[in-house]
Amino acid sequence: MKQPLQDISNLNDIRILVNSFYQKVRVNQLIGPVFNEVIRDQWPVHLEKMYRFWETLLLGNKTYFGAPFPPHAQLPADKEHFDTWLRLWQETVDEHFKGPVADEARWRADKMAILFLSKIRYYRHTGKTPLI
Ligand code: HEM
């Protein structure tokens, strides 16, 4: 019998979530190339950063000190890219976890995808440079 899904509760869970998500991202026809073009052979570095990012948001261990938005400001990403990003994220969370922290992971991603897209559009329109 299949085990019921557990909630996200430690760094190993975060690694499972992030690794599974980026496995999907990397081979996705629409958004894979946008990532690969920037990250190239630096995937291990990107993944480490993303473990720290999600660990900070979901487990409260403050290990991420970066500014998440600026690297996205110039990306060729629009609504369809963010919709795909979000669909893959929600799918990955649901495949592996269930509970309040998993809900939080979906909620946070949804809010940040909306925010990032609106900021990308703003900076594209104004030509300004983001500080944070
Ligand atoms: C289609 C949507 C997205 C694309 C194409 C995308 C692409 C990228 C790329 C290429 C990088 C690496 C940048 C670099 O190393 O210079 C990056 C970094 C990052 N992304 Fe995204 N991203 C997307 C959506 C999101 C969303 C919605 C979030 C938040 C939930 C997010 C969080 C981050 C974070 C935290 C980093 C690391 C920033 C740092 O350097 O500290 N991304 N993303």
Helix axes 32-39, 11-27, angle to 10 degrees: 110
The whole-angstrom separation of Cα 22 and Cα 41 is: 14
- Nearest-CA residue for ligand 1 atom 31 is 68
The model's pTM: 0.96
Confidence tier at 3 by pLDDT (50, 70, 90)? confident
Percent of the chain with pLDDT over 70: 100
113-126: pLDDT as tens digits = 999 999 999 999 99
Instruction: Give the binding-site residues of ligand 1, using a 6 Å CB cut-off.
Output: 31, 34-35, 38-39, 46, 49, 53, 66, 68, 71-72, 75, 77, 81-82, 85, 109, 112-113, 116
Contacts of residue 18, Cβ cutoff 8 Å, sequence gap at least 6: 47, 50, 51, 54
pLDDT of 113:
98
SS3 state at 40: coil
The whole-angstrom separation of Cα 99 and Cα 71 is: 31
Identify the CATH number of the domain defined by range 11-126.
1.10.490.10
Q: If you write DSSP's letter for every residue of 25-39 in order, what string do you get?
A: HHH-TTTHHHHHHHH
Q: Residue 2: is its pLDDT beyond 90?
A: no
Contacts of residue 34, Cβ cutoff 8 Å, sequence gap at least 6: 75, 76, 77, 81
ipTM of this complex prediction, to 2 decimal places: 0.95
The four Cα atoms 93, 67, 110, 94 give a dihedral, to 10 degrees, of 0
